[in-house]
Chain A
Amino acid sequence: AQTVTQSQPEMSVQEAETVTLSCTYDTSESDYYLFWYKQPPSRQMILVIRQEAYKQQNATENRFSVNFQKAAKSFSLKISDSQLGDAAMYFCAYSPTGNQFYFGTGTSLTVIP
């Protein structure tokens, strides 16, 4: 069974500092997709970054980057130069095909001014 684990229910970071959110997943597939979504209090789920498992290079999107370790089934999100607007719930998600999505339980990120 595919599962996604986020072991940090809550994290905090000082504004302008860097924070890493962890995610591990379990799968027997070799090709799949991984995602980080952000859900601010407005509750809209916003795609932060995505990674295709067949690509060895870690995805980056401006201040957001991932550390994808396929053998370890680990997919952590690094947020650099944290901003107040980064405060939200962050969900890690796995999908083998783009249809069935499996979400982790989320990490609540607080940004301290």
Chain B
Amino acid sequence: SAVISQKPSRDICQRGTSLTIQCQVDSQVTMMFWYRQQPGQSLTLIATANQGSEATYESGFVIDKFPISRPNLTFSTLTVSNMSPEDSSIYLCSGRGGTNMYQETQYFGPGTRLLVL
């Protein structure tokens, strides 16, 4: 399976500040995605991270609040901007399998647990 790492693994932030989460995947991954998982709930797709262009956002998520970059095939960042306590969640990065993997399968990073005070 793909090797996907995220950092930080967790953080506690003050409201009004911003946090950037990094995701590194191995070279076998094709597409990259960002999800939010609120406490005790399922995963919700925030956006698809597109290499070298603007991310594709799902309904309810906007670029100003969740700017995403993907400067190359194996790296992406998600910024949670102007945070409020409602942004407290686990943020997960995933990659779609490439060569020598199940290509219609998404593999997930360990997640970043964010608490906003």
Interface residues of A, Cβ cutoff 8 Å to B: 33, 35, 37, 42-47, 50, 52, 91, 95, 97-101, 103-106
Structural contact, A101 and B42, CB atoms closer than 8 A = no
Structural contact, A43 and B43, CB atoms closer than 8 A = no
For chain B, residues 77 to 117, give those with C-beta under 8 angstroms from any C-beta of chain A: 90, 92, 94, 96-97, 102-111, 113
Structural contact, B45 and A105, CB atoms closer than 8 A = no
Structural contact, B105 and A33, CB atoms closer than 8 A = yes
A4 to chain B, nearest CB (A): 9
Separation of A95 and B97 alpha carbons in the complex (Å): 14
Separation of A33 and B106 alpha carbons in the complex (Å): 11
Is B20 an interface residue, CB under 8 A from the partner?
Answer: no
Structural contact, A44 and B108, CB atoms closer than 8 A = yes
Separation of A91 and B114 alpha carbons in the complex (Å): 21
Structural contact, B42 and A100, CB atoms closer than 8 A = no
Interface centre among B31, B92, B106 (most CB of A within 10 A): B106
Size of interface on B: residues with Cβ below 8 Å to A: 24
Is B53 an interface residue, CB under 8 A from the partner?
Answer: no
Separation of A52 and B104 alpha carbons in the complex (Å): 9
With A99-B96, A100-B45 in contact, do A42 and B110 touch (Cβ < 8 Å)? yes
Structural contact, B92 and A35, CB atoms closer than 8 A = no
Structural contact, A98 and B113, CB atoms closer than 8 A = no
A103 to chain B, nearest CB (A): 5
With A91-B43, A103-B42 in contact, do A45 and B105 touch (Cβ < 8 Å)? no
